[in-house]
Each structure stands twice: as structure tokens, then as C-alpha cells.
Chains A and B, each alone.
Chain A
């Protein structure tokens, strides 16, 4: 969908003349009360569920959660996935032409925040005629967007579902993000963000950024279980070390492969932008660090879930949100899932997790049916 009216951004800049890619699943009911917005995290898109007819392998990033008969049941709900501006899956981003210069934005693409994304999503909701969502839901960075919705537009959602998320990044989280950004910024192929006109991609920087990010998505135990200290070419080498700086261990091979793959489809400027959006998110900041005050104007009912082995956004971070909601006497349901997979658990199949989300959507649905 095309938006001609400029989007004012938190930085003071504005986004002129932009596109938002979105997908919908299910059917919007007559009184438009069954819409659910699903917000994506760092490297995902508007393609939340299902496959395209011509791309049977391109499965939506939350296909185990969203679909007919799934916890977020598209037989009941009208689900919207939207690609945020600054991303690289079709919505206006740094690889597109800047109307002011006629050249790709590159590093000149304005820095966007979680709140800016929510403002962009609100315009999409307006265009689709959805005055109030049954729920806004997201995991990780997507959860931040859901939380921001509840603060910025309290009347426009009845339920806010925040999964494996945090009210703000920790020092360590920001530190990891900056290492990733430095990997990109110092890649000679980055060309100050204007690599498009040089016909190159800062592949190495993106690869390293992805490798370090990927480590934070997994738990020590799940990595250990999957790869251990297994050697890559153990059979050929008789289990000997190679005494060099190539690939010895399986984990090296895996991360390099994942990093290479990522660098072929993800945009380096997008990676910089999205990690900055993560770093900046801190709704309590405007309230002297008091999250309870930041959430005082919320009206939604909340569902939060965390995963015990998620050391990136640990259960303690979710409990900070729960604590602030309880201080405001908000309705909140909170599940702490003892899953082994680390941060990525929110994308994976886990019976307890899926059952809790399903149970919660049953309640959301009863509110519509009543």
C-alpha cells in the first residue's frame, strides 16, 4: 500500500512517499472486530504464515502459530502481517530511491524507531478500516511494537501480546548490537552506506553481524547439544585438528553458512537501522525510568510469555513489564515457559507455549463472540 502523506519520525525527520508491504489471512468480520496485527522482529517480514503458490518453500516465519486451526486461528481471526519501513522485504527501505535525490537512500535513510513503525502500522489500520484490533501481537522486537501500541494507541487494541521481549535493551544487548554494526560499517564494501551504486554488498560485515546475532538467539545448552565440539571433517581427517584458521568445528561451519546465507538476502543498512530501533526502545525513559508510569495509560489486557533459557531477553525482563502492569492493576496473564531453545524458542514448537497462546486467543475470541 502506498502512502503519499509524509510520516513524521521520532528523530524529527520524515519519510516521504512510502510503501508498506502487508499480507492478510482469514476474513475480516462485519463489525471489523476480529483483526489481529502480528509485528515482526529483526529479520522477518510481512510474510507471517503460509506459502505463496509460486514459492512453495517460502513458509511464513510464524507459520506454526498462525493459520487455520493454529493457536492464532485464521478461521476466526483476520490476521495482518506488515513489513516495517526501513526493512528489506518490499516496504520502503534504504535500498529504494530517495525522492529528494533520485538515488537509493543508503545510509541517508532516516533512523526509524519502534514508535515510528507503530505510527506507520496505524496508518495501514486506518486504510483497512480497522478502528480497534482484537489483539496486537509480537515476539522479541515485535513484542516491543505490541507494547508500544498499548502505550501510544490505548483505544486501538483490546489485547496486547508480548512474547520473549523486554521493555528496553540491557547494556549487554546494546553492546552485541554495536559489534554487529561495526562489522558492517567497517566492511570496505559498505561504502558509507552507498554500496548499491558500487554494485557490491558488504557481505562479510553482514555475515559477521548475523553470526554474532545468531549466537544470542540460541542457548548455550541447545548449541552444545546440537554441535558440541564435533569436528566438521572428522571422517576424512581421522578426527585430527587442522591446525589452521579454516573450519574445524561444526559450529563454525554452521554459523558461517548461516551468515553467508543471510548476507545474500538481507540489507546491510536495514540491519543497522533495525538494531538502532532495538537500542532506542525504552518507553520508560520519558517517565524518569518508571515503566509503571509509562504503562499507566494503557487499556488493553495483556498476555506475556518468556522462556527460561532466553538469555538475550530473559524472563526477568518480561517480569519487569508484568510488574509495571500489575502496579497499574491491568489484566495480565504471564507464562514462563521452561523451554531449552533460548531466544528462538518463541518461533519454535513447544506444546506448553502453543497451548497458552491458544487458550488466550480463545478468551479473545469469546470477547468477540459475546
Chain B
């Protein structure tokens, strides 16, 4: 059975939104591919090729069961297996916040990919701010962990990430904040629970990214 866009939309609306940004037929690397649902959709629905990277045994198995070409590897060790500019699109979705070496990994992502799509839970989402004002670490749908058991070791806001992207040589093509899988237009850094950035290397030809929209 093929995974349809509708299946993806109901299971993972954030991924369904992001899938629009991936050009059909592109060569994709999904860094931290999890259960492989995104790559499965991109392969089946958008004729993309490429690989997922994942470290957890159960997720690697799920990805393989979905027919994803999954490479079991710790992303923390970088993307040494991949050549410069070898992917049209590199995805790093809801994974970056779990990395210790965020900056190094991001630089490696920039090295191997032409276009980069990054998502992460927005720490500045208003319920998180409220929780902090009440003197508590935020626990929400996008940050569903207690402070002592969270795999999210790097907490960032939309504005913070924009600075880092600039520093590693990335130009922001688009940045949206999602809540419940829908775009938040007004006050995104306050009202968005998931930050989604579409980026490309600074100084690369315009139009290549636009063509995908």
C-alpha cells in the first residue's frame, strides 16, 4: 500500500506541509529520519530518491519496513559518508534540537546539500513562555518531556536559529511557524509551536529554490 498525501496530512501535518517544499524527483537526505514516513512519502508520492539517517534500532527497522533506504548511523558523528553538494535537499526535521554538536552538524548539512529544510520546536511558543513565567520548564505537544528525561538538549527560538543559520553561511528562503500543522501568520515566534526554515547556501543562484515552490 502506498502512503498518500492524505495519509501523511492526517498522521503528520507538519511533514505534509514541508513535503510541498521538496521538488519532485529530487535527491534527498533525511537526517534523523525517524520511522521513515517522510522519505516513504517523498519516494512514493514525489518520485524522490535518497537516504534516511537514523541511529535508533527500532526506527531503522521501521524505516526499512517502509522501503526507505536507511543508513544506521549516529548523526552526531557528522555526514562524512556523503559528498559535497550531493543532495538537492537535506531535511533535518525535529532532530536538530537533540544534537550536542548542532553547529557542526548544520555546517555538514550545508556542505552536502543545495537546499536545506530544518524544523525544530520553537521554545518561544507562548505556552512555553507562560510556563517559564510560572517558574516551570515548558511541557507541551512539541516538547512532551520533563526536564530530566528530555532528548532535546538544545532549545532554540525562531530568532535564535536565524542567527545561527546566518553564521554557518545559510540564507533564509522561507521561514514559517506552524501550529497544529498550519501556518501562523501573526507573531510567529510567539504563536508558532514548530519552526520550519527553508534555507540555501548564501550566494547560490536564485531561482533554483523558487522553482520548487
Contacts and interface: CB of A to CB of B under 8 A. Distances in A.
Interface of A: 301, 319, 322-323, 326-327, 329, 331-338, 352, 355-356, 359-360, 362-363, 366
B159 interface: no
A306 to B, nearest CB: 9
Interface of B: 27, 49, 51, 57, 60-61, 64-65, 67-73, 80-83, 86
A7 to B, nearest CB: 36
Contacts of B67: 363, 366
Contacts of B69: 301, 331-333
Given A333-B69, A334-B72, A359-B65, A322 B81 contact: yes
B65 A334 contact: no
B192 to A, nearest CB: 35
Contact of A326 (B64, B72, B81): B81
26 contacts: A322-B71, A322-B81, A323-B80, A323-B81, A326-B71, A326-B81, A326-B82, A326-B83, A326-B86, A331-B49, A332-B69, A332-B71, A333-B68, A333-B69, A333-B70, A333-B71, A334-B70, A334-B72, A336-B72, A337-B57, A338-B57, A355-B61, A359-B61, A360-B64, A362-B65, A363-B64
Given A322-B71, A331-B69, A355-B61, 13 more contacts: A323-B81, A326-B71, A326-B81, A332-B71, A333-B68, A333-B70, A334-B73, A335-B60, A338-B57, A352-B61, A356-B60, A363-B67, A366-B67
Contacts of B60: 335, 356
Contact of A356 (B27, B64, B68, B81): B64
A331 to B, nearest CB: 5
Contacts of A322: 71, 81
A363 B65 CA distance: 8
